[in-house]
Amino acid sequence: MTYQWDDLRVFLAVARAETLSAAGCILKVDPATVGRRVARLEQNLGAPLFAKSSLGYALTDAGIRLLEQAQRIENEMAGVGLDFGGQGAPLKGQIRIGAPDGCANFVLPQVCAAISDRHRDLDIQIVAIPRVVNLSKREVDMAIAVSPPTTGRLSVQKLANYNLYLAASKEYLDQHDKVKRLLDLKDHRFVGYIADMIFDKELDYLSEIGVERVSLASNSVSVQFNLLRTGAGVGIVHGFALPFAQNLERVLPEVFSLKRSFYLIRHNDDRRIDRMNRFAEDLINSVRIEIARLERKA
Q: In this predicted model, what pLDDT tens digit does every residue of 68-103 receive, in sequence order?
A: 788 777 766 655 544 333 446 788 889 999 999 999
Q: What's the pLDDT at 1?
A: 58
Whose CA is closest to 287, among 100, 111, 141? 111
Same fold, 1-85 and 160-260: no
Q: Tell me the domain boundaries of the chain.
A: 1-85, 160-260
Alpha-carbon torsion angle 95, 101, 103, 104, nearest 10: 40
Rounded-to-integer distance, Cα 252 and Cα 90, Å = 46
Rounded-to-integer distance, Cα 91 and Cα 254, Å = 44
**Phi and psi torsions of 273, nearest 5°:** -100, 115
* pLDDT lower than 50: segments of the chain: 81-87
**Phi and psi torsions of 270, nearest 5°:** -70, -15
Indicate the helix (H) or strand (E) that contains 128: strand 122-128
Task: Report the topology of domain 1-85.
Answer: Arc Repressor Mutant, subunit A (1.10.10)
Whose CA is closest to 66, among 144, 147, 128, 10? 10
Residues near 130 by beta carbon (within 8 Å), at least 6 away in sequence = 100, 101, 197, 199, 219, 220, 221
Rounded-to-integer distance, Cα 112 and Cα 224, Å = 24
Q: What's the pLDDT at 83?
A: 39
CB of 199 closer than 8 Å to CB of 225 = no
Q: Assign domain 160-260 to a CATH class.
A: alpha beta
Per-residue pLDDT tens for 142-175?
999 988 887 777 889 999 999 999 999 999 999 9
Q: What's the pLDDT at 86?
A: 40
- pTM for the complete prediction? 0.69
The Cα-based distances of 291 to 126, 161, 245, 295 in angstroms read 17, 8, 16, 6
Q: Where are the alpha helices (DSSP H) in 152-229?
A: 170-175, 221-229
